[in-house]
Amino acid sequence: MRRAIIPGTFDPITYGHLDVIKRAAQLFDEVTVAVAASAGKHPIFSLDERTALVREAIKDIDNADAEPFGGLLVDFAREKNAQVLVKGLRAITDFEYEFQMAALNYELGREIETVFIMSPPQYMYLSSSIVRELASLHSSVEKFVPEHVARALEAKFA
């Protein structure tokens, strides 16, 4: 059984994230979306809120689930008996950061491979920070996030 972890802050989950999750679910037997505590990023949604938003977004993907985590990603992957970390890439700037993280994770857990999934063109510009910025300005975000996420953002910035 091939298990993969898709880590992220998901503050909030976007259609770009969902694209990576769906594509990974086609490649692996089980996919766990690992919602990172990421306190240093000062997320607008709590860890429990972000995990709930992700769970609702992926409810129709049979072989995917979502769990919160803190600490080292490789330790979480080992806990889940995962062999692969899946990372989405949008642009060169993502690659530079993710390349460093993949090298570090390799040093910490050589048994865990990192696989990159390239974003399709329609999501290359999309990020959680852009969505948060639009929502904070009371702009519609429904074409960037699932409806339940758009509602949660609207309530957060009401």
Radius of gyration of the chain (CA): 15
For 90-147, the DSSP string reads -SHHHHHHHHHHHHHHHHH-TTSEEEEEEPPGGGTT--HHHHHHHHHTT---TTTS-H
For the annotated catalytic residues, the residue numbers are: 17, 41, 90, 128
Distance CA 69, CA 145 (A): 23
